[in-house]
Structure 1
Amino acid sequence: MAFDSTLVLGVDLDAVCADYEGAFRTSVVRQMGLDPERLLPQTRWDAYSEWGLTFEQFEEAHRRAVLEDRMFRHMDPLPGVSEALWRLSDEGVWIRIITHRLIFNGAHEVSAADTAWWLDHHRIPYRDLCFIGDKPHVGADVYIDDSPTNIASLRATGRTVLVFDQSYNRDIAGPRVSAWSEITAYVLGLLEGRRRQLPLPLEQPGGEFEGRPEDLS
C-alpha cells in the first residue's frame, strides 16, 4: 500500500482570498451613479437583488466591472491570506486555485490575465490555477469556498469543504472558518494526521547490514 503525505488544498478566490463585493460595489457605484451607502452587504446568494439589480443587470454590471474597471486586478486581498498560504506551502501543502471567472465571451483574456497578475502582485503562492465552474471534477483533498451552490455540489460528491463564513451561507453546516488563521490551523491539523499514517523506516536488528540481499540467504 502506497502512502502519500501530500495534501492538495482547493482554494476559491472571490470572497475567500479577495474582496469581490467591495470591488464590485465600487464599480456599480461608478456605472450607475448610485449612493454607496445604499449598497449594503449581501445577505442572500441571489446576484445582488438587495442592491435592486435584476439578474440581467447584475450580469451586465459584472461584465463591465471586469472589462472597464479591471475588477479582478484591483480587488483588495482579505487579511492574512498571503501569509497563511505561504505557511501552508512551506509545510508542503499543494495549493490549487479554483475559480469560476471565465463567464463572458470576449472577457476571457482580461479575466485570466488580471487573475494571474493579482495573485503574483499580492504574493499568493499556488501550484495550479483552474478556471472551472464544476469544482468537484478538480481533484483536491479539502476545499475552501463561500458559495452555497459550490459547497453543496462538492459535498454531494463526498468532498471535504471548509465553509468560509459569509452572511449568505450561515445556514450551511460546518466546518466553518472566518479568518485565514483558522484555515491554517485546520489544514495543518489534517497534514499532521496524514504524516502520522506514513510507515516508519525499518531498522535492521543488530546494526546496519551493508551487504547484498543475496548474501542473507
Structure 2
Amino acid sequence: MPEKQKIVIGVDLDGVCADFYGRMREIAAEWFEKPLHELPEEVSFGLKEWGVNNKSQYESLHRFAVTQRSLFSSMEMVPGARKYLRQLSDEGFRIRIITHRLFIHYFHASAVQQTVEWLDNHGIPYWDLCFMKEKEQVGADIYIEDSPDNVLQLRQNDLFTICFANSTNRHIENPRASSWEELYKMVMNLYPFLRSQSVT
C-alpha cells in the first residue's frame, strides 16, 4: 500500500489487546483479601462490583497493581489480538497504539516500561505508541476502544470508532465487535471506503 494511502488504526490496549479485567480481578482479590470466586468476572466501569467505591480507592488499587504487581506487563493477551493486528499490519495498515495509562502521577516510568515490555513480549506490531487522554487528537482513521466514555467522546467528534464489547459497555450502540476476528472483518469491509477518502 503506498504511504499516502496507509490507513491508521488507533488501538486501545486495556480491554482490547490486554486482558485488563482478568488480571485486575486477581490483584483486587489479593488487595481486598477475598477469595477470587467472590469477585464477579463481569463488571461495570469503575469496578464497584468488587468493592471499589470511589476514585481514591480505585487509584490506590491501581497504584498497587502497577507498582507492586507489574499489572501492565503481567496481563494475558486478548485472544486474536496479535494474530489480527499482524494481519492488518502485513496488509499495509498503520497500527497506532493509544493508551491513557499515565492518569495517576508519580509512576509514569514504570507504566511506560511495562507497556513496552508487554507489547514486545507478545509480539504486537505497532508503528506508534501514544500515551494520552485526548485520543481524538491522535489522528487515526479507525479507532478501536472499549471504554464507554472514550467511545462516546470519539464518536461525538465524528471519528469512526468500533466498540470492543465487554461487560462495561453493553449500552454502547453499534458498530461493536465481540472478538478480534469480527473486528478484523469489519475493518476489511471498511477499507475500500477509507482508501478512497485517503487518496488525494
Range class of TM-score, shorter chain: over 0.9
Kindly report which structure 2 residues correspond to 1:111-126, keeping only aligned pairs within 5 A, or say none: 111-126=111-126
Kindly report which structure 2 residues correspond to 1:20-169, keeping only aligned pairs within 5 A, or say none: 20-45=20-45, 47-55=46-54, 56-169=56-169
Q: State the SS of the aligned residue for 1:130.
A: strand
> Could you tell me how far 1:186 is from its partner in structure 2?
1.4
Q: Deviations over 1:28-64 (max 9, x none)?
A: 122221111111024322x111111222222101110
Q: Deviations over 1:125-159 (max 9, x none)?
A: 00000001111111100100111100111011100
Code of the residue aligned with 1:163 in structure 2: it is C
Code of the residue aligned with 2:96 in structure 1: it is R
Code of the residue aligned with 2:47 in structure 1: it is Y
**Matched residues, percent identical?**
41
Code of the residue aligned with 1:33 in structure 2: it is E
Code of the residue aligned with 2:74 in structure 1: it is H
Distance in 1 of aligned mates of 2:136 and 2:10: 10
Q: State the SS of the aligned residue for 2:86.
A: helix
Distance in 2 of aligned mates of 1:61 and 1:171: 26
Distance in 2 of aligned mates of 1:92 and 1:4: 11
Q: Deviations over 1:58-102 (max 9, x none)?
A: 210111000000010000001011010000000100000000001
Change (3 A) 1:140 1:195: closer
> Could you tell me how far 1:196 is from its partner in structure 2?
6.0
Distance in 2 of aligned mates of 1:66 and 1:171: 29
In the alignment, is the contact (CA less than 8 A) between 1:7 and 1:93 conserved in 2? yes
Kindly report which structure 2 residues correspond to 1:197-212, keeping only aligned pairs within 5 A, or say none: none
Code of the residue aligned with 2:53 in structure 1: it is T
Count residues in correspondence.
196
Asked whether 1:18 is paired with 2:18, we answer yes
In the alignment, is the contact (CA less than 8 A) between 1:11 and 1:96 conserved in 2? yes
Distance in 1 of aligned mates of 2:51 and 2:196: 52
Task: Give TM-score, length-normalised by structure 2.
Answer: 0.92
Distance in 1 of aligned mates of 2:8 and 2:122: 21
> Could you tell me how far 1:22 is from its partner in structure 2?
1.1
In the alignment, is the contact (CA less than 8 A) between 1:42 and 1:48 conserved in 2? no
Code of the residue aligned with 2:49 in structure 1: it is E
Q: State the SS of the aligned residue for 1:18.
A: coil
Unaligned runs of 5+ in 1: 200-217
In the alignment, is the contact (CA less than 8 A) between 2:89 and 2:95 conserved in 1? yes
In the alignment, is the contact (CA less than 8 A) between 2:15 and 2:21 conserved in 1? yes
Task: Give TM-score, length-normalised by structure 1.
Answer: 0.85
Code of the residue aligned with 2:100 in structure 1: it is H
Code of the residue aligned with 1:114 in structure 2: it is Q
Unaligned runs of 5+ in 2: none
